Structure 1
Amino acid sequence: MMEDFDEIYEEEEEEEEDEDRAAEEQLLKYAPDPVVVRGSGHVTVFGLSNKFESEFPSALTGKVAPEEFKASIYRVNSCLRKTSRKRTRRSLEKLLEWENSRLYHKLCLHWKLSKRKCETNNMMEYVILIEFLPKIPIFRPD
């Protein structure tokens, strides 16, 4: 008897997750394109630059303070200087998760490491994507 209850509960939970995902995708359609912060260093290993550009992107004006942006990029670049290349990508992802939970999710922004094709050649490179998260309407019923 208890097993049946668990199964029904799981199905309802999955339906709620699907509804939430569909609502989020609908909101993302109207979000601006993400800001791309490209590597500016000299050395790249498997597409990961040894340094990211610290110039403040104009698309973030009014969203985040230039000082906060530069401090975050400084921490990313410090992480790149410290870690051995084998574990660098995972260390950066953890750092960006921390930055998101510390500040950027509160500002409806999401930083992530993303692999993209270079504009100039056929090689792949890692960039930092700063995505605009949709504001969830508070007046929407539960």
Structure 2
Amino acid sequence: MMEDFDEIYEEEEEEEDEERAAEEQLLKYAPDPVVVRGSGHVTVFGLSNKFESEFPSALTGKVAPEEFKASINRVNGCLKKTLPVNVRWLLCGCLCCCCTLGFSLWPVICLSKRTQRSMEKLLDWENSRLYHKLCLHWRLSKRKCETNNMMEYVILIEFLPKIPIFRPD
């Protein structure tokens, strides 16, 4: 009786391996993601206060320029609300750093993580509202700067592979 159970389990593992191989095959042919870099003049812990609103040519035919600009404006609006508070706390933390042995920087770190989470939630909402239907996925990603060794946050717009609906089960 236990031998039969093991056989069923092994068949399920083989099916999962086949599904993973098919997904990897689809991802191999997906184009490179579009990178939207920060273009603001203030950066706190790698997160710029503004992202470029210029429509990337790689998204032509995938999404309307108006929708792209509206999404970037919502992201920039979120940053406009949260980043000035982070900058003020950073300045206060730096002024008091020697007296508090660095503990005065904790509020800035917590606020920065909170800003990142709110950005990720906003991008998830944008994905579920529109971009997943267009086979696109927006996400916040940490990348190395092109000009120096610092890290920065960018918005990656990835192309999701279309699932072949004519493939047999």
CA RMSD in angstroms comes to: 2.4
1:82-131: CA deviations, max 9, x gaps?
23xx4110001011111111100110111011100000000000000001
Percent identical pairs in the alignment equals 94
Whole-Å separation in 1 of the counterparts to 2:12 and 2:121: 29
- Could you tell me which residue of structure 2 aligns to residue 6 of structure 1? 6
Q: Is 1:98–2:125 an aligned residue pair?
A: yes
Q: 1:22: how far off?
A: 2.6
TM-score (norm 1): 0.86
Runs (4+) of structure 1 exceeding 2 A deviation are: 1-9, 11-22
TM-score (norm 2): 0.73
Q: 1:3: how far off?
A: 15
The answer to which structure has the higher helix fraction is: 2
Structure 1 residue runs of 5 or longer lacking an equivalent are: none
Q: Is 1:141–2:168 an aligned residue pair?
A: yes
1:2-44: CA deviations, max 9, x gaps?
99979967x7766555443332221011011100000001111
Residue aligned with 2:158, SS = strand
Residue aligned with 2:154, SS = strand
Number of residue pairs the alignment of both structures matches: 139
Alignment map for 1:1-142 (pairs within 5 Å): 16-83=15-82, 86-142=113-169
Q: 1:141: how far off?
A: 1.6
Whole-Å separation in 1 of the counterparts to 2:153 and 2:7: 42
Q: 1:133: how far off?
A: 0.7
